[in-house]
Structure 1
């Protein structure tokens, strides 16, 4: 066991593992693809994938990234051919975003790479332990009541 992790509390342990997993997922993608996509860009792509043509303002409100940075990342994703920005019908101010066929393909490829990573974690800690961990993480921790 990593001695650095032994002295950490719950929040810091979750944070450390999150950073490790995100870094590993990013390296996996970059080792299997010619196109670089940052973790922030993946976060935005996920919001677009989940909501099928969300508005830019919706994405900005639902990612933990500044509005200005979100716009910059969306422009980068558009330049890479991963998303298209379109006008919202009956609304001149709003724009919506959708994945291109290439963006959809990249998202699906990354999804399978993450599944492979999850299998490696299951191999390391055991499928039952992974199942318990996922169950715990999916449980309502009532965090909003702690504020």
Structure 2
């Protein structure tokens, strides 16, 4: 499968590769499991994995609305991936924690993504993948770019 963009810029290249890799990871999950978890739900699970957070904390840290966050959390709860409980000394806040099943799913997904990364290393080479990871983790100072 070869993808070519006509005169690609860095934003389009990053977006295209992200979409391809995201689809691969999603397909790997679907092929090996019988519970569907959306990208937004994975995002929430990533935020709460091995942490004690409130729903409010999660909503502040994601790129979608509070209303959407609540909807995704309800979906995760219905799938028994997370538990929502009252916070001691607060009637307003609710805590969100990953269930054992949720942790197992999250950890399996990490392994699937590592398998894809290993395939990239086999295709591109370890030096190139390491360079790519280094570039992607650099401080790009994106907030300073002009709109």
Q: TM-score over 0.5 for the alignment?
A: yes
Tell me by how many angstroms 1:17 deviates. Answer: 1.1
Q: Distance in 1 between matches of 2:63 and 2:12?
A: 18
Residues paired across the two proteins, number:
145
- Specify the alignment match of 2:3 in structure 1: 2
For residue 46 of structure 1, give the secondary structure of its aligned residue in structure 2. helix
Find runs of 4+ consecutive structure 1 residues off by over 3 angstroms: none
1:45-60 paired onto structure 2 within 5 Å? 45-49=45-49, 52-60=51-59
Tell me by how many angstroms 1:79 deviates. Answer: 0.5
Which structure is higher in RCO with an 8 Å CA cutoff and minimum separation 6?
A: 2
Q: Distance in 2 between matches of 1:146 and 1:28?
A: 36
Gaps of 5+ in 1: none
Tell me by how many angstroms 1:72 deviates. Answer: 0.6
RMSD: 1.3
| TM superposition score normalised by structure 1 | 0.93
Q: Distance in 1 between matches of 2:29 and 2:42?
A: 11
Q: Distance in 2 between matches of 1:31 and 1:102?
A: 18
1:121-136 paired onto structure 2 within 5 Å? 121-136=120-135
